[in-house]
A and B are shown apart, each in its own frame.
Chain A
Amino acid sequence: AQSVTQLDSHVSVSEGTPVLLRCNYSSSYSPSLFWYVQHPNKGLQLLLKYTSAATLVKGINGFEAEFKKSETSFHLTKPSAHMSDAAEYFCVVSDISGSARQLTFGSGTQLTVLP
């Protein structure tokens, strides 16, 4: 069975400083990994995904994530935070379970960006 652990429930950074949101996963097969973002009272938007091509994945809005199989990690980074990045971020693993590939979500990391 797959699982996802987001190591920080809250992260606070100052505008213009780097962002690091940490994620570890476990999976029986070769997983696909995703980061989704949810702004307040909104649905989920896909930031980026890893599907066994390049280990460094670039997403929207300047975010990127590196897949490290040896560490079973998929941390999300951004060089310089913007106020509009304040949101909740979910690390997600996709694996085969039952009759379809299913997603397992981490519990989320709330990112606060301070002026």
Chain B
Amino acid sequence: NAGVTQTPKFQVLKTGQSMTLQCAQDMNHNSMYWYRQDPGMGLRLIYYSASEGTTDKGEVPNGYNVSRLNKREFSLRLESAAPSQTSVYFCASKGLTSDTQYFGPGTRLTVL
């Protein structure tokens, strides 16, 4: 099993450009999450989807949108990228009966 996969691994954008980060999991998990990681701040939750068809804001949702396309896939969209969104983005998933989240390898995004 691949677990949680993310594409792309790296991306450079100019201010104002848009892009979508893709995440997929093959563990039949109900819940999926998007985090950003910045130096000295741990990971902060952007959005999450407790189950297929639902999405909720996390701690830092401004400037982002999400889509839970189906049970496997959860995408994160930046409509108009800003330098403050330069970060490493992690997707995670969790099964219904467990607290443990499983993380993807991350997407390193730079906004110039």
Chain A contacts to B: CB under 8 angstroms: 4, 9, 32, 34, 36, 42-46, 49, 51, 90, 94, 98-103, 105-108
Contact = CB atoms under 8 A, between A and B. Distances in A.
Given A99-B50, A103-B101, A105-B42, 10 more contacts: A4-B42, A9-B40, A44-B103, A49-B99, A51-B99, A90-B43, A94-B99, A98-B50, A102-B45, A107-B40
Interface residues of B, number: 23
A101 B29 CA distance: 14
B90 A108 contact: no
Given A9-B40, A90-B42, A102 B48 contact: yes
A45 B54 CA distance: 27
Nearest to B104: A43
B56 interface: yes
Contacts of B44: 105
